[in-house]
A and B are shown apart, each in its own frame.
Chain A
Amino acid sequence: MMRALCSAAFVALLLQPAGAMAQSSQFKGWAAVSRELSIRLAPQGHPFDLDEFLPSGSMDELLGTWTTFGTEHRFRNGTPNALNMTIWHAALAGFAKAVGQSCTSPRLMFHERFLTTLHTLCAWPAPAAKEEGVLLAFWTSVMGYNAGEQEYAAWRDFFLREYANQPATETVAAMTFAITMHPSFLLNR
């Protein structure tokens, strides 16, 4: 019987499908990410138009989309690949830079509560900017609670350590970028 089982195990290997891959989370898509950022950061009724940060028009379709026309809708282009990671990187780097630049010359319109947090953070590297409350407020403003607590801790510790004396504009941009490039921010559950 053991021989039969070994044979069966061998057969099981033959059953191994070529190309079988674990089911993977996909990107939320540009529309969903834009909406999340707008709800969290923009004044009510004045959502961000983040398309300016896309490296090109119609690139949003390459970041994960339901929208099509003339056929049943499936979610397309959401699986991470080299091209859409390049686009996400370029777009979110641009957005992060704009947030950082808001320390000196605002480009985006934010709601009051986030502006308060941002103004405090823009005093970086002053001690007031490094307080736990400010950092947590900034993190939750951008990320919400999408990521686990340990991710916030890792992010906080990293910036307190590696950006301890960097200028505010650069630090805030880097902080924003690190949050928005996080899988918990970009991927759909």
Chain B
Amino acid sequence: MARPRLRRAQLGVVVVLALLALAGTKARRGQMLVNPATAQPGASAVVEETEGVLEGASLWQKRWWIDRTARLLRGGEGLGPEDDLAALLPLSKERIARRFMLDERFGDTILDFNLFFLGFKSDQLKSASAYDRTVFDFPNAVAAAQALLKDGDYFKLFDLEGPFYMAPLRSEPLDEPPQPGDEGLTLAQLRSKAMREIEAVFADALALAQARPAPRLADLCKAVEALADSGQTLTPQLHRAFDDAEIFALIRGEVLTRPLEMLAKVAEKACDERTAPAAARKSLLEGLESALAEIKRAFSAIVEFEPDRYQPKSVPEFKRFALSAFPTKQKWLSFGFEQGMALGNSSTNFNRKRAAYVLKRFFCDDLIPIGFESPQEHVAGVHGSQTSCYACHHKLDPMAGFFRTYGAYFFDYARSPDIIFDDLASKDRVLYEAVWKAASKLPAWNIGYIRSARFQSYNSYGTSMGDLARILRTAPEVKRCLVKRLHEYIVAEDQTIDRGYLDYLTREFEAEAIVNASRAFKSTIVRLLQSAAYDQRDADPKRCYDAAPGSLPGEGPPCRVAFILSKNCAQCHNAGADDEAARLDVGSWIPAPDGQRRIFRHLDDKLAQLSARDSLARVIERLSSTDASVRMPKGRVMAGDERQELFLWAQEELARILEQTRP
């Protein structure tokens, strides 16, 4: 059933309807109760707030606010019978919020938000008081949540290399039926059995090397080479006891591959006939000892996460895995198993999917609306060098370069001659990476976050994950995106936000974060909880309820219009644009030449400011033209309802100007 199109009604009618609705509500409130049993004063009583935050708000409304805030800040758990609502009622919103932030469950809220920010939120973090195992898959989310609870470095959220939080090992039976000989074993027993079997294989080889009398060198070489070559057998033997997420960790940790690789190198050198026999034996013996030690160390660390030993009940109890116990020397990426699946890189994708993810989640730069249908503008080659593609690809491809050594499941092939992709195809790694080599000498690689196609000084370059993390930590766009996402999480994902208000929130956050990122984040939460948008029971998603403190009406186009402009137009039409698009800055709102009204900074081809009438007429023409060379936004798909809203606003403004200037 179609919703009545109230939005097409005249503004005055909408206001009248709203007033009537409000009057009706107040009339109904006249019947309200008094309930001594629950110690509630009359529901329509006004609360006197010592800090003036809730003047005029009814008790009912405040209880709603408190319950909603409790649910938000306590990991989804609102007010219950143990909560003393009466004690909370006299407090200001800020004090209530900060009290809830001291609750142990606040860690769950922050973890949940972090997952939301990363694009991997779930319905619940826990089932029956145990954390869902997928939560452990996002170490930067966990680390940042832990840091925030201690007022530490919340920006660990942006660290793409770091700790590994292994989940409690699985206790439910695996999907595959048990292999012969494994029947009747619990999963923990099976794990133990599998690990012992692997250790035994290495131990047997070591025993041979240590035997007296010593075996013939040729026999020893044969045994070690056979062991080094037994990966195809040992791997499934070990993996049969683990589930996919655990196997992912075993592979990334190179639990088997690295010792076997090491043994292969040792054998190759030691078993060369030019090597003296005594030296060869020593080398082989040491190699076997080292391999066995590596295996044992890894298994000992894994066993610490057996579910009967480890079941965290809160975010602070999440335990880091001792990464030094894994044979790998590579840094542990924060992209875990699920992200490995979700952000696969095929042999033809050139990491663009991963780049688009980073731009979207960390920079709020959603390249999706860019679309074009003209086949002449087909992307040729690995970079979108055609003009129409350039709008996206000049950002996308350099960002993709940070992932150039990461293949399937984010496995790092930097040490390998080939790179294997998620579609199982492989390529020569050096040739593949050459795609990101820059034409000029500086920077050597065309990898980074690109703000300007023309001025390199505006861009942030790098080559490694560490560089990308540094960029994320320092880029103002990322902090703004973080605040925006927090607004989405707390208020609503589709709620229009006044750009000036978002700027204000971001400015405050940035200023406070210089001192302490966690406290700054908490303060931003408080500001949002105090916002008018949060206070709405039935918010209109297209309305801006909040403005920056001190802002005056008329200082910009209507909030919704500004929102649409910033979403669809401001990427090109801004003061910092490199090209002709800079002649229109939709982020500005300056006095028009006639001095009577305000309009965008909009220059003609002689760089003179257009009149309000001419500027709006051009906007209208560009929005409604069917000529592809004229129609705006160029090369982008704009949502039809947003185009219409913008068009109608411009048309109404123009009509008003014409009416006022009519002789």
> Using Cβ atoms and an 8 Å threshold, which residues of chain B touch A111?
80-81
A149 x B43 contact (CB < 8 A) = yes
**CB-based nearest B residue for A154:** B28
In the complex, whether A11 has a CB less than 8 A from a CB of chain B is yes
Give the residues in chain A near B81, CB-CB below 8 Å: 40, 44, 111-114
Q: Which residues of A contact B82 (CB under 8 A)?
A: 44
Say yes or no: A20 contacts B357, CB within 8 Å. no
Give the A-B pair count, Cβ closer than 8 A: 146
User: Which residues of the other chain, A, contact B655 by a CB distance below 8 angstroms?
Assistant: 5
Note all chain B residues with C-beta closer than 8 A to A144: 64, 67, 78-79
Report B101-133 CB contacts with A as 1/0, cut-off 8 Å: 000000000000000000111111000110000
Using known A-B contacts A21-B2, A32-B123, A189-B492, determine if residue A40 contacts B25 with beta carbons closer than 8 Å.
no
Q: State whether the Cβ of A137 lies closer than 8 Å to any Cβ in chain B.
A: yes
In this assembly, does B143 line the interface, its C-beta being within 8 Å of a C-beta of chain A? Answer: no
Given contacts A15-B624, A72-B342, contact A148 B35 (CB under 8 A): no
CB-CB < 8 A to A136: which residues of B? 33, 35, 37-38, 40
Residues on A with beta carbons closer than 8 Å to the beta carbon of B64: 144-146
Partner of A70, one of B7, B78, B338, B623: B338
Interface residue tally of chain A, by bracket?
35 or more
Sort chain B's interface into a size bin.
35 or more
CB-CB under 8 A from A114, the residues of chain B are: 81
State in angstroms the CA–CA spacing of A18 and B640 once bound together: 8
Write out the residue numbers on chain B whose beta carbons fall within 8 Å of the beta carbon of A149: 28-29, 32, 43, 58, 60
> Does A29 sit at the interface, judged by CB under 8 A?
yes
Q: A69-B134, A72-B120, A150-B25 are in contact. Are A20 and B35 (CB under 8 A)?
A: no
Q: Bound state CA distance, A55 and B342, in angstroms? A: 31
**A149, B36: Cα distance in complex, Å:** 17
At the interface with chain A, which of B317-325, B591-599, B642-650? B642-650
In the bound complex, CA of A17 to CA of B648 (Å): 14
Q: How far is the CA of A12 from the CA of B338 in the complex (A)?
A: 45
For B25, what are the chain A residues with a Cβ–Cβ distance below 8 Å? Answer: 148, 150
- With A15-B624, A22-B7, A149-B60 known as contacts, the answer to whether A36 contacts B71 (CB < 8 A) is yes
User: Measured between C-beta atoms, what is the minimum distance from B8 to chain A in Å?
Assistant: 10
The A99-151 residues at the B interface (CB cut-off 8 A) are 111-114, 132-134, 136-137, 140, 144-146, 148-150
B539 at the interface (CB under 8 A from A): yes
B124 touches A69 (CB 8 A): no
Q: List 30 A-B contacts (CB under 8 A).
A: A8-B620, A9-B651, A12-B644, A12-B651, A15-B640, A17-B643, A17-B644, A20-B641, A21-B3, A22-B3, A30-B123, A31-B123, A31-B124, A35-B124, A36-B71, A39-B78, A67-B122, A69-B341, A73-B121, A112-B81, A113-B81, A146-B68, A148-B537, A149-B28, A149-B43, A149-B58, A153-B31, A184-B537, A189-B492, A189-B537
Residues of A at the B interface (CB closer than 8 Å) are 1, 5, 8-9, 11-12, 14-18, 20-23, 29-32, 35-36, 39-40, 44-45, 47, 65-67, 69-73, 111-114, 132-134, 136-137, 140, 144-146, 148-150, 153, 184, 189
B residues with a Cβ closer than 8 A to A are: 2-3, 7, 25, 28-29, 31-38, 40, 43, 58, 60, 63-64, 66-68, 71, 76-82, 119-124, 128-129, 134, 338, 341-342, 357, 492, 494, 536-537, 539, 541-542, 620, 623-624, 639-641, 643-644, 647-648, 651, 654-655, 658
